[in-house]
Amino acid sequence: MTKKSVIQRNLKRINLFKKFIKKRNLLNNSLISKFYINLLPKNSLKVRLRNRCSITGRSRGYFRFFKVSRIELRKKALKSEVSGFFKSSW
């Protein structure tokens, strides 16, 4: 389980990104306002966002399609909560 502060920090960045995306796109398209883009918060950049598991907050081994980590995906697959997944054996 990830620390609660790390999860909250990432949620704050997601909210800032959503809040300033229109303004940032507007400023990027105009040549005059390159100075004003520096006045926006740095945490509103898409680069600062981190994909995290929606259940545990784990950042490594993240599956974008399911929005969970590999560990949680395996648990769900073993419980048959994800269609098309089954445990392989060879």
Q: Which among 75, 73, 76 has a CA at the least distance from the CA of 61?
A: 73
The pLDDT tens digits of the residues spanning 42-82 come to 999 999 999 999 999 999 999 999 999 999 999 999 898 98
Determine the average pLDDT of the residues in 17-44. 88
Lowest mean pLDDT: which of 16-20, 27-31, 53-57?
Answer: 27-31
Backbone CA torsion sign across 64, 68, 70, 75: negative
Q: What is the reported pLDDT for 37?
A: 87
Residue type for position 35: F
Burial (CB < 10 A; 0-12, 13-18, 19+), residue 85, is: middle
Res 34 pLDDT > 80: no
Burial degree of 33 (CB within 10 A; 0-12, 13-18, 19+): middle
| pTM of the predicted structure, to 2 decimals | 0.80
Question: Residue 10: its pLDDT value, please?
Answer: 94
Encoded amino acid at 17, one letter: F
Indicate the average pLDDT of the chain.
90
